[in-house]
Amino acid sequence: MTRSLKIRTPQPVENRPGLDEIRTRVGTHSQFYASMLRRLADAHRPGLSDLRTRTEGDYTLGLFDAWAGVCHTLAFYAERDANEAYLRTATERESVRAHADLIGYQLAPAKAAGVHLAFEAEPGDAPDETLEYAPGLRVRSVPRDGETPQIFETVEPLTARAEWNALTPRLAYPQVLDADSETLSLTADVARVNAGDPILLMRGNMPVAFGEGEGFLRRVSDRSAGLDGRRIVALKADPTNPPPYVYIASLLVFPAWDANQALNSANLGAAVSGGSWTASALSTTTALNNIGLFTLNLAISSLVFVPPDPILPHAMRVQAGFFGNIAITRRTSPVESDTTAGLSGTGAVIFAGPSLSAGSYTTQQPSDILSTAGDIDEEGTPSSGRGFIYLEREFTEITPGQTILIRDATHEAWVSVHAAETQSVEGYSMSAKVTRLEVALSGTGPDGASVSLETFQTRTATVFAMPEALTLSDLPITAPVGAADGALTTFQVELGTSELLLLPGKTVIVTGELEELAGVVASEVLEIAENTLDKGHSILTFTTPFANRYVRASVTICANVAFATHGETVQETLGDGDATRPFQAFTLSSKPLTYVSARTASGMLPALEVRVDRVLWSLVDDFRDAGPEDPVYIVRHAEDGTAQIIFGGGQRLPTGQDNVEAVYRKGAGLAGHLEAHQLTLLAAKPAGLKGVTNPLPPGGGADAEVLEDARKNAPLKVLTLGRVVSLRDYEDFARGFASVAKARADWTFDGFDRPIYVTVAGQDGVELAENGDDMQNLKAALAEAGEADQRVYVQNYAPVEFGLEARLYVDAAFVPDEVEAAARAQALDVFSFDSRGLGQPVTRAEAMAALQAVPGVLGVDVDFLYRLGLGKTNEPHLVAAVAQPDLSGGLPIPAELLTLGEAALKLEIEQ
């Protein structure tokens, strides 16, 4: 036994760089015990030579055993202490916190999620009523299974109006006809428009010729019913480029306009022009308040008019022939006989029959008759320059003042009716009760020239009368909202009404069915950059382009929007100030303290106000950032999330009773990541508000920083020192920002220079809202910390899933189902969002190694390794793209993050 003993302590200590755990233990109990036994026989220690007993129960050996245990314990904890002395190897949260404290870094507390809420306002008693609400409106969530209700509060004022609940884009534009129009669309209530019906297009009281060398009259060749109830009498025009049409004269705001004068049509008349004006121009050049703008809106609406001399369709409801033949009655000489035997022809007589009334008549042909004028007499002779025509029957619908169209095979004339009466006439061996019309001797032809009525052949001529105006329907706009449409860009949408109170800076939520995904409804938040009133309709221009393209008829725009964050307000008296005590501290009774997004290096600030003797004190990150007389405090968090407010030793709290008060909010973390339309309960229903919802799910929340996150993020503060210069600086700065779990910075080239492209991902893979506070604050913070001339893009990552199918050869000693479950959990963990990096590839060897590490797995065969959506293949490696320029000229393409799809992981067990 003695021959086998040797000195085994201290053990050599060697640690290569990059280890997650270091070894400093110089020996174990057995090693220390063996070394002490070996030294009993050491010739250099003659005093121990008499201790020759090696049997159990000897007191000396018992003492050695005890001290070996002491050494073992000391060596164990010395190694533990050594690991806790380094940030990479520390395992205790307090150790990581202490390391972070050395460089002024505090483990990040939980951060509140945020979301834009859409409120529904009730119509007020007054039509111009605008509702104003201060921040602090509380909204409660409807919990799902396993959830608890979460409370959100608005953090900005809300301005609401009932008509802003669901604004709609412009859905149609007016139909405008011209002389060459071959098609038209009528409203559904227009009856009796059938194929073959005569149609006139009229400008005012005058028909419009169909085209050069053509006549006035048109006929309906076909008709059909539109899906929206319109009666399609012809094909509609292309709605993507509607012709110009003035519905309303736009108001041009002149500097000389007196905002105090009454807003009515008379006073606005001098300010009417055909251009357009903007809401911001109005607000800067006049002193109109909300009531004034509302009144102005009504006044402008009253100015709606059709354009000068529009062309409108008319259906000719009366179609008649002539009784007898046409003769133009002109009294020029007395006639004593009551027969027409002495006349040269009957064509000069406008009424049928051989008998004449007493009077003077010409015996010349019609061309000669036209050169002679007659006088009005009591016997009904026509006035000077006029004649009588007799229709084939009675038409009481035709009255004086109307106009008629006379048409035969070769001529057309538009003639005014000066008188109309019913008479009984005889002629051609027949008699009838007919309508006699007194008309001018000539009418207007399609070319605008005068056409004599004597040119018409009686037997083939037809009278068209009683033009009934047909109501044109507006033509639908089918272009999707969010797409460039004519003069509109992807930044704009035209509303169906004028909304003067939607001023720049207001936030709206657009909701609608996606054009490319039928039945899928999406929403997005946009901020108004300008509101232009153009011919009676508001055109909203946004600060950012639409992210989606929506089916126009499905779109609603809510302007009753306010931003809210997770947490509810608490008012608390912290206690008494004591001027004799430095660094006095108070603990908040509610937790966790809400932190919200802010434009700081950390990306967040607490929702906290502390007042001492009703005076507001300031929050600082560290007392070293303040002077000795500054009224400041710091906030520190315990392991359980409790927040402690600590005052300094320079400017101490004044002595007083209950003079330290705090107003703060409690609630934060990923519990606030709810689903869309889950925030629907108003905690206290304010007057005028009917309901609320969240069209988009809340985002930007984060749980308190865990050990591994702190281990990675703590050095970031000293890596950048508040400035970003290198590519790695941009990545480190973004990764240390609140709500950002992963970040990657890449150079890109856009054809002109090399901008930096920063790809970010939120906690649990949640994307940061493009227009949300987190994304905007990160962009602003990077711009402030970076070089002024360095262009930087920040965008969400592109999540990509891959599939893995493999066969596992399992040891017969293990339960196959348990091995399969362990292997599945191992693969999903190794290739999860938390374990992968942006732009990190996946290899077949890596997948095999992950599965092979599971106890009981003897071997692995990978059958398929592929990107989802590209078909099953067995690739040796899958590449995750890094940020790269868009060759089409758009923004660069963000970096990808490859994760294993749970449904695409298939394992087959073989033994």
Each as own residue / partner, the long-range contacts of residues 40-46 (CB below 8 Å, 24 or more positions apart, any chain) are 41/2
Give the pair of three-digit tokens for residue 119. 């409120």
Answer positive or negative: Cα dihedral of 307, 309, 312, 318: positive
Q: What is the per-residue DSSP string for 471-519?
A: PBPPEEP-SPBTS-BTTB-TTEEEBSS--TT--TT-EEEEEEEBSSSTT
Q: What is the pLDDT of residue 199?
A: 81
787-813 mean pLDDT: 91
Closest CA to 462 of 322, 352, 326: 322
Structure confidence at residue 720 as a pLDDT band (50, 70, 90) = confident
Q: What is the pLDDT of residue 51?
A: 74
Give the pair of three-digit tokens for residue 341. 């035997």
Query: Who has greater pLDDT, 835 or 101?
Result: 835
The radius of gyration of the chain from alpha carbons, rounded to an integer in Å, stands at 46
Gap between the Cα atoms of 304 and 24, Å rounded = 88
Asked if residue 682 lies in contact with residue 149, where contact means CB atoms within 8 angstroms, the answer is no
The dihedral region occupied by 189, where left means phi > 0, alpha psi between -120 and 50, and beta the remainder, is alpha
Gap between the Cα atoms of 736 and 745, Å rounded = 13
Q: What is the 3-state secondary structure (H, E, C) of 138-151?
A: EEEECCCCCCCCCE
199-215 mean pLDDT: 76
Q: Which residues on adjacent β-strands are paired with residue 131?
A: 160
Give the pair of three-digit tokens for residue 508. 């709206």
Domain boundaries, the chain: 1-91, 322-460, 568-666, 722-796, 798-910
Asked if residue 400 lies in contact with residue 195, where contact means CB atoms within 8 angstroms, the answer is no
Q: Is the pLDDT of residue 242 over 60?
A: no
Q: How many CB atoms lie within 10 A of CB 57?
A: 7
CA distances from 14 to 7, 25, 75 (A): 19, 10, 15
CB environment 744-764: b (16+ within 10 A), e (fewer): bbbebebeeeebbbbbbbbbe
Structure confidence at residue 880 as a pLDDT band (50, 70, 90) = very high
Which has the minimum average pLDDT: 10-19, 204-213, 247-256? Answer: 247-256
Q: What is the pLDDT of residue 213?
A: 60
The dihedral region occupied by 155, where left means phi > 0, alpha psi between -120 and 50, and beta the remainder, is alpha
Q: How many CB atoms lie within 10 A of CB 735?
A: 21
Q: How many CB atoms lie within 10 A of CB 254?
A: 12
Q: Which amino acid is at 96?
A: V
Asked if residue 239 lies in contact with residue 173, where contact means CB atoms within 8 angstroms, the answer is yes
Q: Is 81 helix (H, G, I), strand (E, B) or coil?
A: helix
Q: How many CB atoms lie within 10 A of CB 375?
A: 11
Q: What is the pLDDT of residue 625?
A: 81
CA distances from 41 to 4, 9, 61, 148 (A): 12, 16, 14, 71
Gap between the Cα atoms of 806 and 162, Å rounded = 59
Q: Is the pLDDT of residue 661 over 60?
A: yes
Asked if residue 106 lies in contact with residue 605, where contact means CB atoms within 8 angstroms, the answer is no
Q: What is the pLDDT of residue 516?
A: 86
Kind and range of the H or E run holding 816: helix 816-830
Structure confidence at residue 211 as a pLDDT band (50, 70, 90) = low
| Beta carbons within 8 Å of 753's beta carbon, 6+ residues apart | 791
Gap between the Cα atoms of 906 and 808, Å rounded = 11
Asked if residue 293 lies in contact with residue 286, where contact means CB atoms within 8 angstroms, the answer is no
Q: Is the pLDDT of residue 749 over 80?
A: no
Burial (0-12, 13-18, 19+ Cβ within 10 Å), 231: buried
**CA torsion angle 230 231 237 238 (round to 10):** 40
Name the DSSP letter for residue 699: B
Residue 897's φ and ψ, nearest 5 degrees, are -130, 115
Which has the minimum average pLDDT: 331-345, 729-743, 843-857? Answer: 331-345
How much of the chain, in percent, has pLDDT values that exceed 70? 79
CB environment 6-38: b (16+ within 10 A), e (fewer): eebbeeeeeeeeeeeebeebbbbbebbbbbbbb
Q: Pairing between strand 492-494 and 250-251?
A: unpaired
- Highest average pLDDT, of 99-113, 304-318, 451-465, 570-584, comes from 570-584
Q: Is the pLDDT of residue 337 over 50?
A: no
Gap between the Cα atoms of 901 and 836, Å rounded = 13
Closest CA to 767 of 732, 738, 795, 806: 795
Q: Is the pLDDT of residue 45 over 90?
A: no
Q: Is the pLDDT of residue 61 over 90?
A: no
Structure confidence at residue 377 as a pLDDT band (50, 70, 90) = very low
Answer positive or negative: Cα dihedral of 212, 213, 216, 218: negative
Q: How many CB atoms lie within 10 A of CB 266?
A: 9
106-119 mean pLDDT: 90
250-272 mean pLDDT: 38
Q: Which residues on adjacent β-strands are paired with residue 450?
A: 444
Angle at 181 between CA 177 and CA 186, to 5 degrees: 60
Gap between the Cα atoms of 225 and 734, Å rounded = 59
Q: What is the pLDDT of residue 419?
A: 87
Q: Is 285 helix (H, G, I), strand (E, B) or coil?
A: helix
Q: What is the pLDDT of residue 69?
A: 94
Q: What is the pLDDT of residue 160?
A: 93
Gap between the Cα atoms of 462 and 474, Å rounded = 33
| Beta carbons within 8 Å of 765's beta carbon, 6+ residues apart | 741, 799, 833, 897, 899
Kind and range of the H or E run holding 224: strand 224-225
Q: Is the pLDDT of residue 286 over 80?
A: no
Q: What is the tens place of the pLDDT at every residue in 180-190? A: 777 777 776 55
Q: What is the pLDDT of residue 243?
A: 34
The fold of 722-796 is GMP Synthetase; Chain A, domain 3 (3.30.300)
Give the pair of three-digit tokens for residue 309. 């001399």
Q: What is the tens place of the pLDDT at every residue in 421-464? A: 888 877 655 677 888 888 888 888 888 888 888 877 667 788 88
Asked if residue 436 lies in contact with residue 398, where contact means CB atoms within 8 angstroms, the answer is no
Q: What is the pLDDT of residue 184?
A: 74
Burial (0-12, 13-18, 19+ Cβ within 10 Å), 576: middle
Q: What is the pLDDT of residue 332?
A: 40
Q: What is the pLDDT of residue 453?
A: 82
Q: What is the pLDDT of residue 905?
A: 94
| Beta carbons within 8 Å of 901's beta carbon, 6+ residues apart | 801, 802, 803, 868
- Highest average pLDDT, of 6-15, 819-828, 884-893, comes from 819-828
Q: Which amino acid is at 618?
A: S
The dihedral region occupied by 158, where left means phi > 0, alpha psi between -120 and 50, and beta the remainder, is beta
| Beta carbons within 8 Å of 121's beta carbon, 6+ residues apart | 131, 160, 161, 162, 164, 165, 560, 688, 689, 690
Q: What is the mean pLDDT of the chain?
A: 79
pTM of the predicted protein model: 0.71
Asked if residue 648 lies in contact with residue 625, where contact means CB atoms within 8 angstroms, the answer is no
Q: What is the pLDDT of residue 891?
A: 67
Q: Is 780 helix (H, G, I), strand (E, B) or coil?
A: helix
Q: Is 435 helix (H, G, I), strand (E, B) or coil?
A: strand
Query: Who has greater pLDDT, 137 or 353?
Result: 137
> Would you mind telling me the total number of residues written for the chain in this entry?
911
Structure confidence at residue 824 as a pLDDT band (50, 70, 90) = very high
Residue 741's φ and ψ, nearest 5 degrees, are -95, -35
Asked if residue 525 lies in contact with residue 506, where contact means CB atoms within 8 angstroms, the answer is no
Q: Is the pLDDT of residue 571 over 90?
A: yes
Q: How far apart are the first and last CA of the chain?
A: 46
Q: Is the pLDDT of residue 908 over 70?
A: yes
Gap between the Cα atoms of 861 and 853, Å rounded = 14
Sheet with strand 798-810: strands edge to edge: 857-867, 798-810, 896-910
Q: What is the pLDDT of residue 188?
A: 64
Q: Is the pLDDT of residue 635 over 90?
A: yes
Q: Which residues on adjacent β-strands are paired with residue 660?
A: 575, 612
Q: What is the pLDDT of residue 284?
A: 44
Gap between the Cα atoms of 245 and 699, Å rounded = 45
Q: What is the pLDDT of residue 279?
A: 56
Query: Who has greater pLDDT, 326 or 309?
Result: 309
Q: Is the pLDDT of residue 591 over 50?
A: yes
386-399 mean pLDDT: 84
Which has the minimum average pLDDT: 37-46, 595-604, 636-645? Answer: 37-46
The dihedral region occupied by 855, where left means phi > 0, alpha psi between -120 and 50, and beta the remainder, is beta
Q: What is the pLDDT of residue 600?
A: 81
